[in-house]
Structure 1
């Protein structure tokens, strides 16, 4: 295989060739503070499970931790936004792992507006690569004056945000949509710690909920609008969710 980038030949054996040209893979994203991450065991289990499903072989969590520690040390930081990517090139004997280290990030607490779009992620339970439609619809939502996109299925069934999970408050329970979606790590930490239920949520039925919020690895934020449906920001709810999330321990990498 002969490869050129911007007119410059690149050796086919260059390790960067795999992530550049093979998009069959998966990843996890975590916030690291003082060399620790919330829900680390969940991140490692996610990587192992997806690697088994996609490639038929598990992934050693100790090896992943070693790679992340090394990347943080070489970057000279202990606070970061870190991702671990897992690729498997055709005819390869083992997975290729890539670790990225970027400045730490926190989700802005300003209430979000979401534009519903008719799209559900394929193989939604895996945090896989190649999310073209998520990026496309996310950009379209911003161009339309919203903060992000809300992915929905046939009949307006709410699934998840473009890069978030979404939850609704009915006055008694936190309702997580019962639809194909990724179980985000923040959602996985919050769901058993809150009075949670899973329920079919539709765009037509949004008026039944008092409030909504989104979650991802960067944190939690209230939702103020989905399409034309307005939501009040329930300060007591958001305070409770934030306090519950704060109880999730930080695990040393």
Structure 2
């Protein structure tokens, strides 16, 4: 299933010319269930902040919600939805493209990550044009891994190619303190962990530090999954950790679009 709408109407070839030829814009990705989304306000704030930074324009939250609802229509209640924002072409306002695909969940099997020497440009924005992520992701998959782990100078860990990553030392969750996209699932989990007896912190994490951790996990809009291996280092699945993370995530309310 794939449905694409541009400014509230089925996308035409002329409208798709903009994203095809102009590699400048941003987006957010969400899972919709029964017409609801976790962290809807965070998605809207992300879109608005990026629109201001990239296009010096404001983005009406109600307009975004209207376009999502219209793209879902009356026949789709569960879906993977992306909302893209592109700059003005001949119009006076930014354009919004909504794509709708079938619902997705994070594979629950332990993920194997390959560290690569790459960091996303302008990492705080979820921008289009992820050539580096795709390139290194393909190399990782070619070598038998599931995903690339992006690192900076000195092997400082930033994020997964399409995920955030957290580490657990038996007591505390550590989120890498490095330039990276602050994913919505990370933002939903982080402030709730302490209340579940699982304190968390931000700190620099290098590849050389990995043996000091008992477990690791990744997050994105599709959910949470354990990490089983980074390069040659294996991690046991933190069963209690993953159970707590799942329980915390389940407490996050679903917002009506």
What TM-score results when the alignment is normalised by the length of structure 1? 0.93
Is 1:62 aligned with 2:62?
yes
The partner residue of 1:205 within 196, 206, 209 is: 209
- Ranges in structure 2 where 5+ consecutive residues have no aligned partner: 1-11, 194-198
Residues 176-230 of structure 1: per-residue CA shift (max 9 Å, x gap): 0000000000000001111210000000110010000000000000001000111
Following superposition, the deviation at residue 46 of structure 1 comes to 0.2
Report the secondary structure of 1:181's partner residue.
Answer: coil
The partner residue of 2:236 within 232, 239, 253 is: 232
Residues 133-191 of structure 1: per-residue CA shift (max 9 Å, x gap): 10111111011000110000000000000000000001111100000000000000001
Residues 53-86 of structure 1: per-residue CA shift (max 9 Å, x gap): 0000110111000000000006x21000000000
Judge conservation of contact 1:151–1:160 (CA < 8 Å) in 2: yes
The partner residue of 1:219 within 204, 208, 223 is: 223
1:51 aligned residue: 51
Following superposition, the deviation at residue 13 of structure 1 comes to 8.8
Is 1:39 aligned with 2:39?
yes
Moved over 6 A (4+): none
Q: CA RMSD in A?
A: 1.3
Report the secondary structure of 2:14's partner residue.
Answer: coil
Structure 1 distance, partners of 2:177, 2:160, is 13
Equivalent residue runs for 1:95-114 within 5 Å:
95-114=94-113
- Ranges in structure 1 where 5+ consecutive residues have no aligned partner: 1-11
The partner residue of 1:242 within 237, 242, 246 is: 246
1:19 aligned residue: 19
Equivalent residue runs for 1:70-109 within 5 Å:
70-73=70-73, 76-90=75-89, 92-109=91-108
Residues 15-35 of structure 1: per-residue CA shift (max 9 Å, x gap): 121111111100000000000
Structure 1 distance, partners of 2:91, 2:114, is 41
Structure 2 distance, partners of 1:81, 1:13, is 23
